[in-house]
Amino acid sequence: SETGMAWVRRHPEMEKVTETWEEAAEMRFGSWDNMMVKDLDKENMCHLFYLAQNVVVSAPAPYVRPSDGTAFAAESFVTMLNRMRGMLDKLNEKMAPLAAEREAAGAPPPLVVMYGHSMAGAALSILTNNGKKVDGQSYLGFDGKYIMPNATPVYLHQCK
């Protein structure tokens, strides 16, 4: 969440409407967090993630945040996908009264801006059925050329 707060610090007027939700965090890579895959042993199971598109592989140990010692269990992509689904359900529940109010007034639905990283973004793409066009085809993917572009805003207009 701290990475996304850089924008809020540059736009202090947005602080009062900005919320930080732990469940919206990037995939928790456990002991692989803050490491480059290329630096891990060739036999490490982390390579199954991209070589075999294995969505259930996860690190054997948690990530421990240096600032406060909080441990975060390693997640597989499937685990993180379920967490992101819960986050979308929470968001829909929170926004439903405002959406109904705006609809009754003839106004467009509320716009929600979210900040995230690659795997969380891939999960949101999949959960909102926003595939990426690759070689003329539309794909829902979580790695390689099938994920959302890095550091590029994406409008997930199919969200409910």
Find, among 56, 49, 78, the residue nearest to 144 by Cα.
49
The first and second tokens of residue 131, run together, are 């595939």
Residues across the chain: 160
Condensed to tens digits (0 to 9), the pLDDT of residues 114-137 reads 777 778 888 888 888 877 777 777
Which distant-in-sequence residues (6+ apart) come within 8 Å of 98 by Cβ?
110
State yes or no: pLDDT of 68 exceeds 90. Answer: yes
Residue found by looking up tokens 């540059």 in the block: 10
For position 101, what pLDDT does the model report? 95
Please give the torsion angle defined by the CA atoms of residues 33, 39, 45 and 50, in that order, rounded to the nearest 10 degrees. 80
Average pLDDT for the chain: 82
- Give 34 or 159, the one with higher predicted confidence: 34
For position 110, what pLDDT does the model report? 86
Which distant-in-sequence residues (6+ apart) come within 8 Å of 97 by Cβ?
none
State yes or no: pLDDT of 113 exceeds 60. Answer: yes
Longest dimension (CA), the chain: 59
Arithmetic mean of pLDDT, 97-122: 86
Type of residue found at 158: Q
Give dist(CA 72, CA 77) in Å, integer: 15
State yes or no: pLDDT of 160 exceeds 70. Answer: no
Helix or strand or coil: residue 26? coil
For position 144, what pLDDT does the model report? 65
Backbone φ, ψ for residue 69 (5° rounding): 80, 5
> What is the Cα 143 distance to its own chain's centre?
13
